[in-house]
Chains A and B, each alone.
Chain A
Amino acid sequence: GQNIDQPTEMTATEGAIVQINCTYQTSGFNGLFWYQQHAGEAPTFLSYNVLDGLEEKGRFSSFLSRSKGYSYLLLKELQMKDSASYLCAVRDGLKGIFGKGTRLHILP
C-alpha cells in the first residue's frame, strides 16, 4: 500500500529552528517533495529530493534517506509567516502521493 506519515501538529518559537519528519512506504519512488500550504490557500512547492542527502535553500533545507524511507524539512530562523501546513509528498511515476500535512504554529 501507499503510506506517508508526518506529525499532525507542531509548535515552535519565532527565531528558532524546527524539524518536520516524514516517513513513507510507496510502491514506487521518483522523488520526494515538500509543499507549504497557508490556511485557505493552495500548496506551494518548497523542495525536491531524489538522491540521499541534504538540499539547502535559504532558510529551508530538506533531507532524504531512501533506504530508511525518511525525510525531514528543516526550517531555520522561524518567522511568523512560516505558520502554515507542511505537506510531504512522494512521486510515484508522475503521480504525487501526499501525506496529511503538519500544521506548524509559530509563537512570538
Chain B
Amino acid sequence: GAGVSQSPSNKVTEKGKDVELRCDPISGHTALYWYRQRLGQGLEFLIYFQGNSAPDKSGLPSDRFSAERTGESVSTLTIQRTQQEDSAVYLCASSLSRREANYGYTFGSGTRLTVV
C-alpha cells in the first residue's frame, strides 16, 4: 500500500480482555517496528521484525505482550489480559533494510487503546 495502515484506529476494552492490533506496512519494507506512546510521553520501543523474524523483543513489557509477522507483510500485536497501564497509542512503522539505513521510518496513524 501507499502508507502504513493500522487497525483499529481506536479500541476501548475492559480490563482483563485480550486485544489484537494489526499493522500493514508499506509493500517492500522488510523491517517493521512496534512502539508504544503514553500520553505526553516519548516513543517506547516494543519489538521489531526483519522479514518474519523478531531479532529484538527486548522492549515487550511483559509476557502478556506478543507479536508476529507473516509473509513479510502484516503484523499483529496481541495483548492478553489487558491492564489499565496498557492504555496508550500503539504505533507501527516500517522501513527499508539496513542497506538503506538513511531512510527513516514511515509510521502508521496508530491504534489508541483505552483499557477501562
Q: How far apart are the CA atoms of A37 and B32 in the complex, in Å?
A: 19
A37 to chain B, nearest CB (A): 9
Interface residues on B, range: 20 to 34
Chain B residues in the interface with A (C-beta under 8 A): 31, 33, 35, 41-45, 48, 50, 55-56, 91, 93, 95, 97-98, 101-110
Q: A42–B43 Cα gap in the complex (Å)?
A: 11
Chain A, Cβ-Cβ closest to B112: A40
Question: A residues bordering B, Cβ < 8 Å?
Answer: 30-31, 33, 35, 41-46, 48, 50, 87, 89, 91, 93-101
CB contacts (< 8 Å) of A93 on chain B: these are 56, 98
Main secondary structure of the interface of A (DSSP, over half): strand
Residues on A with beta carbons closer than 8 Å to the beta carbon of B55: 94
Across-interface contacts of B109 in A (CB, < 8 A): 41-42
In the complex, are the beta carbons of A95 and B56 less than 8 A apart? yes
12 contacts between A and B (CB under 8 A): A30-B101, A31-B101, A33-B104, A35-B105, A46-B104, A50-B101, A94-B95, A95-B45, A96-B33, A98-B35, A98-B43, A100-B41
* C-alpha gap A43/B89 in the complex (Å): 12
Q: Which of A48, A89, A97, A99 contacts B102 (CB 8 A)?
A: A48
